[in-house]
Amino acid sequence: MRVLIVGQGGREHALAWALAKSPRLTGLYCAPGNPGIAQVARCVRIGLGGGSELAEWALANRIDLTVVGPEAPLVTGIADEFAARGLPLVGPSRKAAEIEGSKVFAKELMRRWGIPTAEYEVFTDPGEALAYVRSRDMPVVIKADGLAGGKGVTVARRVEEAEEAVRALMGERVFGEAGRRIVVEEFLPGREVSVLALTDGRTVLPMAPARDHKRLEDGDQGPNTGGMGAFSPVPDVGPDCLDRIENEILRPVVRALEQEGRPYTGILYAGLMLTPDGPKVVEFNCRMGDPEAQSILPRLESDLLEALEALARRRLDEVTLKWRPEAAVTVVLASEGYPGAAATGRPIRGLKEAQAEGALIFHSGTREEAGQLVTAGGRVLAVTALGETLAAARDQAYRAAARIRFAGMRYRRDIASHA
Ligand code: AMP
Ligand code: GLY
């Protein structure tokens, strides 16, 4: 099979690495890719062009299966462009991807179908939103309706913070049209877990749970980021909890989307809070998580390509996923300035030494400049190690991370340490 991956981050590198192991693979391409992905796939520079340009390229290059990493092309309809040409693709249609593209849609869907999530109200009028947040007990959570690169959510502990978030989203429009509508929701206490599932619209196949670390600094302090590290499995998600997540959340939402004429195929990511009342949905994403993918995929023993091919052919009922017993820990190495404007162009050293420690190095934001690997984004590398226990995996991941050097490099020292 000839496979195309769409995207250019650490998640796509992990996908490429996992797909490259498949004996069924005859050609692996990535658009646009990055220098790490280029070690296992041929990187092609084609614009997304609303998805049609890529679909034409896939057609001309006899691509058998396309796997889309990031949400943006899915939300704008890349799956529909491929479907119109009869090209198999792993990822939901534009209408189904609204589950991530519009928080209002996701919340209303959950309310209609009784899927457990935080209580909420929707606002299109800033004055009404301000009056509402002033009437609530803190903390309260304010969310932009549309995509905001993971930065559209504020957990406000004080009413002034809530007011400021409403003004930024609706008044200043810091995320443009994404803040035309907002969701104000109840704060959910508890620990978070990400449960991702493969689905062909009928069969729902959960993957091993993972936990992300969203805050920049140790002890969950500092600003929210795209994710500073992850681990899998998650000890506080036992088989009973996973059953509940599957039966109360994942299956019902896939059924709900089908019933509402938006059948969902692809990878569905449930961001969940383990509250005292059971698991509740914080958000849905229409793709794999980053850095969750870098912890989950190295634990997958089954052939990923076989599973994704079955998904695209609506034959997921024929697949079971086998997981390695080892734990995985992923530490993200970030640039100075992240999650704000990040410094780039800084030479990266020590990757060979880090690999020699037995770690997998996934490239998130790197590029080559005059034959030298340099930083090219906020999150630069994701270092994953497998171990018999989470503690062993963590030690090994940190030993490897300590070998890598670039000016301004920062990372959390406490990934997986509270597990
Ligand atoms: P989201 O982009 O929706 O994942 O939100 C970003 C982060 O904000 C989540 O990972 C949570 O840590 C936090 N968050 C979002 N919604 C809630 C909520 N209702 N209660 C508590 N924390 C939340
Ligand atoms: N790690 C969170 C996300 O990918 O959305």
Q: Map out the domains of the chain with their CATH numbers.
A: 2-91 (3.40.50.20), 125-180 (3.30.1490.20), 190-318 (3.30.470.20), 327-401 (3.90.600.10)
Q: Is 190 in the pocket of ligand 1 (CB under 6 A)?
A: no
Position 418 scores a pLDDT of 85
CA distance 128 to 144: 15
Q: How far is the CA of 184 from the centre of ligand 1 (A)?
A: 11
pLDDT at 50: 74
Give buried/exposed letters for 243-272 (b at 16+ CB in 10 A, else e).
ebbbebbbbbbbebbeeeebbbbbbbbbbb
Environment class of 121 (CB within 10 Å of its CB; exposed 0-12, middle 13-18, buried 19+) = middle
Query: Please, where are the H alpha helices in 280-383?
Result: 292-296, 304-312, 351-356
Ligand 2 pocket: which of 68, 285, 286, 296 to mutate (most atoms <8 Å of CB)? 285
Task: Select from 71, 103, 155, 192 the residue to mutate for testing ligand 1; criterion: most ligand atoms less than 8 Å from CB.
Answer: 155
225 lines ligand 2 (CB under 6 A): no
Can you tell me the distance from the alpha carbon of 316 to that of 203, in angstroms, rounded to the nearest whole number? 6
Cα–Cα nearest to 90, from 23, 15, 147, 33: 15
Residue-wise over 74-96: b if at least 16 C-beta within 10 A, else e? Answer: bbbbbbbbbeeeebbbbbbbbbb
Provide the pLDDT for residue 51.
86
The predicted structure's pLDDT at residue 195:
98
Q: Which ligand is nearest to the CA of 364?
A: 2
Nearest CA to ligand 1 atom 13: 155
* Nearest CA, atom 7, ligand 1: 153
Token pair for 295: 């912890």
Of 100, 103, 141, best ligand 1 pocket probe by most atoms within 8 Å of the beta carbon: 141
Q: Which ligand is nearest to the CA of 295?
A: 2
Task: Give pLDDT tens digits along the chain (419 positions).
Answer: 999 999 999 999 999 999 999 999 999 999 999 999 999 999 999 876 778 999 999 999 999 999 999 999 999 999 999 999 999 999 999 999 999 999 999 999 999 999 999 999 999 999 999 999 999 999 999 999 999 987 899 999 999 999 999 999 999 999 999 999 999 999 999 999 999 999 999 999 999 999 999 999 999 999 889 999 999 999 999 999 999 999 999 999 999 999 999 999 999 999 999 999 999 999 999 999 999 999 999 999 999 999 999 999 999 999 999 999 999 999 999 999 999 999 999 999 999 999 999 999 999 999 999 999 999 999 999 999 999 999 999 999 999 999 999 999 999 999 999 87
Q: What does the block give as tokens for 163?
A: 């007011």
Which ligand has the minimum distance to the alpha carbon of residue 150? Answer: 1
Q: Which atom of ligand 2 is nearest to the CA of 292?
A: 1
d(CA 211, ligand 2 centre) in Å: 10
Cβ of 210 less than 6 Å from ligand 1: no
Ligand nearest to the CA of 106: 1
DSSP class of residue 249 equals: I
Closest atom of ligand 2 to 285 CA is 5
Ligand 2 within 6 A of 80 CB? no
Q: Is the CB of 213 under 6 A from ligand 1?
A: no
Distance CA 332, CA 32 (A): 21
Write down the pLDDT at residue 415: 98
For ligand 2, say whether the CB of 285 is within 6 Å of any of its atoms.
yes
